Homo-oligomer: A and B are copies of this chain.
Amino acid sequence: MNPPPNLTDPLVLFMPSGKRGRFPKGTPILDAARQLGVYVESVCGGRATCGRCQIEVQEGHFAKHKIHSALDHISPKGAKEERYEKIRGLANGRRLSCSATIEGDLVVDVPQDTVINAQVVRKAATDRAIERNSAVQMCYVEVEQPDMHRPTGDLERLKAVLEADWGWKDLRVAQHLIPEVQKILRKGDWCVTAAIHKDMEFSRATLIALYPGLKNEAYGIACDIGSTTIAMHLVSLLSGRVVASSGAPNPQIRFGEDLMSRVSYVMMNPDGREAMTKAVREAVNGLIGKVCAEGGVDARDIFDCVFVGNPIMHHLFLGIDPTELGQAPFALAVSGAVQGWTHEIGIAVNRGARFYMLPCIAGHVGADAAGMTLSEGPHRQDRMMLLVDVGTNAEIVLGNRERLVAASSPTGPAFEGAEISSGQRAAPGAIERVRIDPATLEPRFRIIGSDRWSDEEGFGEAAEQLGITGICGSAIIEVVAEMYLAGIISEDGVVDGTLAARSPRIIQNGRTWSYLLHEGAQRLTVTQNDVRAIQLAKAALYAGIKLLMEKQGAATVDTICFAGAFGSFIDPKYAMVLGLIPDCALGEVRAVGNAAGTGALMALLNRTYRREIEDTVRRIEKIETALEPHFQQLFVDAMAIPNKVDPFPKLAAEVTLPPRRTAPDETGQGDAAPRRRSREERAARRGR
């Protein structure tokens, strides 16, 4: 227990945490921060050599005209700090908190350097200031030399000073270091920097790496292993800065485009699991090489790695056979957070580096959904928040501080452009935006790789260069929604063949009708079957969301976050017009990018987020749609556009919707009628 503060002592306020306390004059600011639990990095342990403990005294800059200038309230630079400034430089206004002492009331700004770089890939982390408290701490110490009078081992003397100087009691030592310690101590002339990993795996802090002299660098990676794309951030654990971000395709695609075909590959091939594990780990290593090259970082300086991924990626990456995830009861091998040594899973970073993988929520709601939850924080606020990550499987989380529910819904691959006649992956030349004139039914569109609309000057050149090759996932939503808004399809999704009289774009296709979007080297149409595929996908998503809303007893949601690549590129308006998501003020629908990756980044930079997401995942109620008899009815009801039963007053306030007709008669639509998939078929199609 600290003694009660003397009210005549100076008051110090730390920002951005807001923590405050009174300290006797002469107290180093770093000590005050430590006592208040404000995380200020320090590697050299107060020797004014590492420069990691820099702070700014806000009032010195922003309130110069106040009666008490901060310059009187902080000690002038001493010899050590001046030496540091001379050798390493010190930005204007920055001070070393280990050397600067409190001499009066102060507002101390602890810089949070987390600035996300320009994103190279589409899976982007959002800008977000994350208070640092990483699992790795670098500790410089000066070790007592051996003494024949007291013959303790070199390692024991190292541990003793790490306890005396840094408070690491009962430190564990990574086994591979034991043969190295003696030589490193001598190489550093008894001055070494210890990398200490302080996460929970062993209930004890662990020495994971040791360097001669002062080692002033420590990095980590946060990685989202998606089934299509692997995205990675390289982060300085000492400054919190994202040094580089990059992405790479998941090479497992060669074993199967979607998750279920990869599970099938494992079931069919005795070495299938091993081959896919190897492929994804190699890709992760390749990406580590890429971000390290980009950031000018040695991969051996990476000490901590955080991974997220859907359950099947999670299992394959950890070397677990995912077969059980392909069949009821979809049993996860492990659902809790997994920690371990990176070298045991073949990740090429520091030999002593650790990894942490976020917990999975359920058999189809993975560590990526946990990452998204951690990032967007429904559990940290009061409003009814809906999180959706759309892939082959949609992962859905709904709730607030009080209660969270989660489910996955078998949307199938239509949203990704598969099973769509003119669909393709997002790539240059793919149509990504569509508008249809309700009067003429003429479309205009944009393709990836060009900023211009198809009716703008200069578009032709781009189109010639790139080609107009297909319709990507986000544009499928848009074109179907625009077809609905233009009256080309009814709210039950039937292409109105009578319009052929008005426009040559309505063309017959056997017993049904299609809409001709583009005629060129390739003929791009939206067929009745395409519309049906989108209807089935959106009905599955909407029914899943609706089920969770019912579980929550929520008639509406307050805010919607769309995560993932799909979420980043669709226009929320069209998503709502089609009825993918429930009614909500359009301003409250956000694309949150690669929220799973952002969650991994948070867990990397601040280990308290690990406990937070572990606790949260334990609390989340998991709903299995296949076990809910009501889900079938919700699914049928959701086939209509926007859907059959729900009004969309907030959407209607912003978008002119076609007049609602009576419920369509499902009979008599020939082969254009949406066929309800059997439960088995849908189960077999699961996976993102």
Contact = CB atoms under 8 A, between A and B. Distances in A.
Contacts of A338: 178
Interface string A194-210: 00000001111000000
B148 A183 contact: no
Contacts of A181: 333-334
A324 B153 CA distance: 11
A363 B332 CA distance: 51
Interface string A326-337: 001111111110
Interface in A123-156: 146-156
Contacts of A348: none
Nearest to A361: B151
A320 interface: yes
Contact of A626 (B148, B201, B330, B622): B148
Given A147-B329, A153-B360, A328-B148, A179 B319 contact: yes
A202 B182 CA distance: 23
A419 interface: no
Nearest to A201: B172
A104 to B, nearest CB: 44
A135 B155 CA distance: 25
A34 B175 CA distance: 34
Contacts of A320: 178-179, 182
Given A179-B320, A362-B151, A334 B156 contact: yes
Contact of A334 (B153, B176, B362): B153
Contacts of A146: 324, 329-331
Interface string A288-331: 00000000000000000000000000000011110010001111
The residue among A150, A179, A336 with the most chain B CB atoms within 10 A of its own CB is A179
A395 to B, nearest CB: 13
A340 interface: yes
A152 B330 CA distance: 10
Contacts of A321: 179, 182-183
A341 interface: yes
Nearest to A324: B182
A156 to B, nearest CB: 5
Interface in A589-628: 622, 624, 626-627
A146 to B, nearest CB: 4
A464 interface: no
Interface in A512-565: none
Interface of A: 146-156, 170, 172, 175-176, 178-179, 181-183, 201-204, 318-321, 324, 328-336, 338, 340-341, 344, 360-363, 622, 624, 626-627
8 contacts: A148-B329, A150-B622, A151-B332, A172-B201, A178-B334, A178-B340, A179-B318, A179-B333
